[in-house]
Structure formats: structure tokens, C-alpha cells
Structure 1
């Protein structure tokens, strides 16, 4: 009865027991805990004592009882198939190597046997194979020799062709180098020619410049001579550069080169000047700056006095302040010969035609005022009366003209050297003769 129950239980749980994980766990559990079963069945003491001791050991809280068997069971159940696959792969590789070795040995045996049969066959004097084989080998050797000769000839031809191309390339390169050298020589020759021409032009320019300076220097020398004498009288040691810069300031040039290069700066042209006019606001300032840069022990006022003395000694050029142009115009008005040209102005002749008189005299010339202009010229507004004689046998229609005109002083030498005045903007009208 009990045996039937046990068989029934095993038949019902066979699948569970034979399960890879469960079966492996049971086997591993028994393997790790076999000693406790031995103590249970064959240990010392009563059965009850051994059961109590077995129960104390076999508990879930005792991890060493079931954890290690579980890990071994999992490794066995899931790792063993991969281990089997790996072992089969290794065995397969070993089997392939073994089979290759066996086949290789068989191939070697077959080749050796073939060589043996061939030697035996060739060694038979009655067999024509040997002669044919030798002829074939000889023809093959000759064919290879021909191919080698052809290849050698091809290489020789290619080498000769390359040598010819190399020679042509070298010749072309030499030709190009020769052309480049010739071109470089030509360019250098052109460059040297240009440099010579440029140098010749610079020399001619410098020579011309020096000739101009030499031509202008006597004019400047006249001023420098009188200015130097004036400085020497006051025991002032003034270098020539300083005195030259004083002339530049007087005539209103930018520098001494501009003064010496000016064609108008000559004695003949200087004699035609009406005046050299300076500005009271700027000349002392310019002289002070010049003294400061030259480090000469003299004041601007003293230098100005020497310049005045220089012009007085020359005695042909008036050196005056630019606010004295009205006085200069009055002096010009005092000479009636300066106004003969007024009689021929279009405005004057037109007004003369409105009368029956003959006009001959310019009278009462005087300054009206100073006109403002944008340029550097100075314009003085003037007034005059032109009188005449009426015809006795013609009705009286006026015998005098009122004339307004401008005396214009233009700078011709530097900015401060003004020419003789020119008459401009002439406007004339018949004087009002209806008087009560």
C-alpha cells in the first residue's frame, strides 16, 4: 500500500523532479548538505535529539543551506547548454584540423606515388615519353627565353624613349632657362635704363632747381644784406636761415624754397610793387614762434624793427600795415595822371553821350570806403568827378559826371606783396544840374 502511494507520488511529480532547475537544485542541495543527513541517520544520541538538531540547521534563514545550491543549480541549468555548445565548437574545430591533417597526409602519399610512377615510366628506355618531355621542356625554355628577350627589348626601347624624352626635356629646359636669362637681362637693362633716365631727370631737375635758386638768390641777398647789417649794428647774431625765414614771413610765403622758386620774386618785379603789407595781428606772433624755434636772444618787437629798417634802407618798397590801404589809395588819388583811363571806360563814355559837353578833367578823387572781398586782394571804393565844357550853340544837358570805382590791390609776390592798384567796377552818371 505504502509502496503504491510512493510510486503514485513519483509518477505525479516526475515532471517536477526531472525539471532542469528543480532536479539540479535538489542534487546540489543534497551535495552541499549531505553531512547533515548522515548526522540525522547515523549520528550520536536519540533520534529526537538528532531531529531537533537537523531542524535547527535546515531553516530558510540559514542562507548557506539553500543559497549556494540554488546558484549552482541556476548555473548548471542555464550555463551548461552554452558550455555544451562551446565544447562542440571546439571539438568541431579539432575534428576539422584532424581531418585536414589526415587528408593532407593522403595527398602527400598520392603525390609521392605519382612521382614514383613518373620516374619508373621515364626510366623505361622503350618509352618515347622522355624524349617528348625533354623536347617540350626545351621548347618551353626557348619560349620563355624569347619572351624574356622581347621584354628586354621592350624595356630597352622604353628606356631609350625615356632617355630621348629626357634629353628633349633638358634641351627645352635649357632653352627656357636661356630665354629667362635673356629676358632677365633685358628687364635689368630696361631697369638700368629707366634708372639712368630717372637719375638724369632728377639731376636735370635738381640742376634747374639750383639754377632757379641761383637766379633768385641775388634778389634775396639784397634783403639779407640790409637785414644782416641791421642785426650787426645791434650786436645780434642772427644766422642766415633765421633771416631768410623773416623774409618768408614778410612776403607771406610758406617756406624759403617757395620764395626762391617764385618767378615773380625778382628785383624788377619788386620795384613794381605798391607795398608789402603785414597784418598787425599775425606778424608779431609769427616772429615770436620763429624766435622760439631758433633760440635767438631777441624779441619779436626788436626783429620787427629790424625788418622796418631793412625796407627803409632798400627805399624802393613800402612796408606797411594792411590797415593803411586807404592812405595808400589817397596817395594814388593825388596824381591825376593815374585816372586818364577813366575817360575811356564804357560806363563813362556812355554817360558822356547823354550830354553836349567835352570832358577832359578828373577832379575830386577821394576814398569812400573799403570793400569786403572773399579773396586776398584789397579793394578801396573811390569817388571822382569828371568835368567838361559845354557847346555854346547846343542846349545845356550837363557838364560833369559823378564816377564811382574801385582801386584793387592784388597780391603778386607771395601773399603780402601787392601790385599797383587797378581800376575796376567803374560806374558813372551825369551830375544833377537842375538846381534851384
Structure 2
């Protein structure tokens, strides 16, 4: 019996080893899955055992019928494919799935561990409660005493903390009140000091203001005294011209007439004007005889005592005489336009050589010798400006016997007031040009 037992043990051990082998075991399971119908007929068929075994052997006779390998794929081919799939393809997939489930598995494990720890703690508390509630043990009395002692300690600590907190609040309130008292005293001192500084500044400001007003009056008087010689010059010339024909005009009439000549509203405005100086008189080039001057002269003449002796047109003629030997001209609008036109034509050489014409001249390849300009329009608003339009001409640069391309020139001559509204200064030019387009 022992020999049979050893033989059986050897057979079962060898079988277990073969079954546990990954290749043999996998192939065996795959073959059973693919050929379950054959095995079912073998074990559960209704025919006799010999017939069922013969039928199974006939279906599996690969050696006698090699074509069965291709005809019956379930016999070897499909189990082999399933075995290879199980051995080589399924493990990486399983590993990838395990990697994706790692966090969830760890979380589940952590949750289970936490549940076990909580369960152990609750069990410990339960055991303690059972032990304390056992009347046969002395733990209950000691536990009650410990609870009483802990409650007493907590009450003492709470009272101590409350008392310390109240002491701190009292000290803080006292310090705050003291600090606010000191701050109030400091603020009061600062307020008084500030009031004193404000009063002192007001006194100084009032004193400075009075001193400034005095100096301003002195300065105005000084300026007026500096400007009076220029005004006196015109008063004296106008009075002398009238006196030659035995016409006597009041000082107020003379002063208002001189102020009207330069476009001032009154003599005081002229005297207080910062531009009415001898320097500006030296820069003066034209004095415009505005159309409103006759009306102003009519009003001035009406204020004179002997009104019949004064005629605005006669006074206007006397005004013209006082400018006859002066470096500046007294002209009407038409006369001023003509004077400006003459001046522009006299400056034609400088105009042709100006920077504004250098670019257009370079485009024409012409040597310009003549410039003909005609008055296009004029206006007198803030400045007296006259617009000219014309052409510059001359021979070709490379062929002197051939006429070059003309240059279309637009020029604006501007004379700005430097004394009053009608005292005009030197001319300023605004020049624009382009080659003439004959088309």
C-alpha cells in the first residue's frame, strides 16, 4: 500500500507541477474552453463509453489526419492563440489597469485602515466604560474623583484667565485714557500755535499786500514816466502843426487823438501799455489809417469848446503831416497794400534765394532771374496780411538760350501790430511754391 501511495503522490505531484506551469496550465484551460463540446459528449453523451471514446479519438487524430489542424481550429490553433494572448498581451493590460487603479486601491486600503483604527479606539473606549461601570471594581469611584478634580482645575484656570483679561483691559483702558488726555493737551497746544501762526501770516500777508500795492503804484508811475516822452513827442508835433494855423486844441483832445491814431481806446490805455516804448517806435514801419479813425476824430472834435473850428477831415490832414519826416509811414489800407507790394518786389532776389524755394527750384532745373507777383487778396484781423500770386522765370540751367520751366509762387506778407492795433512792424513772409503745371 505504501508503494501505491508513493506512486500516486508522485503522479499527483507531477500533475500539479505541470498544471501550475504558466504555459501548460494556460494551454490546458484554453483547450478545455475551445473543446468543451467534445468533452461534454465524452462525459455526458448517451452512446456507450467505447463509442464516445472512439468518436473523441477520431476527432483528435492529428497524426493520422494532419488536415484536422486547419479544418478544426478549436483543436490546436485557437487554444494556441488564446494561450499567447493570455501570456503576452493580457499581463501588460492588467498592469496598466492596476496602475490606473492604484490611487483608488490605496484610498480603499487607507479607508479600511482608518475604519479599523476607529473601530479599535471605540472598542478601547467601550472596554474602559465597561471596566469603569463594573460595581465590583474601584475604578468608578476613582474616575468620579478625577472628573471632579479636572472640573475644579478647569474652573480655576477659567477664573484666572478671566481675571487676567479684566486686569489687562483695565490697564489698557487706563493707559488709553491717559494717552488721549495727553494727545488732547498736545492738540490744544498745536491749535493755539497754529492760530498764532495764522494770525502772524495774516499780519505779514496784509503788510506784504500793502507794500506790494505801494510798489505797484510806484512801478506804474515809473513805467508811465518812461513812456510819456514817446507820447509827448506825438502830442508836441500835433499841437505844433495845429498852432501853425492858429488852431488850439485842448490837452485832452490832443491826447485822445494820439491814442486814436494807434488804435487805443483812450490815452490812459496807451500810457499803461507795455508795448508803447521808444524801442518799439524804432521798430515801427507802418501806421494804418483805419476807416474808424475819422469817426473817432469826429467824437473828439465834438468835445472841444469851439466845435466849429474843428473838422475831423482837417485834423486827419494834420495827422498826416506829423508822419511826413518820420521813418514810418501813415497809410490807408490801399496805400499800405501798395507799399507792401513795392517792398515785396524790391525783395524779389531774397525771396528767390529763400530756403522755402530751394526744393521747388531744384525740381525745375532752371536759373530763376525774374519774379512777378500780383496782389490776390488782403485781410486785417489780428495781423495785416497781403496774399500774392505769381511766377518766377529764367533760362534753363544747362542751355542758357532755352527758357526753363516756370515756378508758381504764392507769398503772404504779414505785418504784425507792435504798438496798439494800428502800429505795424516789419514784414514777415510765408512762401509756398511748386513747378508750374502748363496743362
TM-score scaled by length of structure 1: 0.50
Report the structure number with the largest CA radius of gyration.
1
TM-score scaled by length of structure 2: 0.49
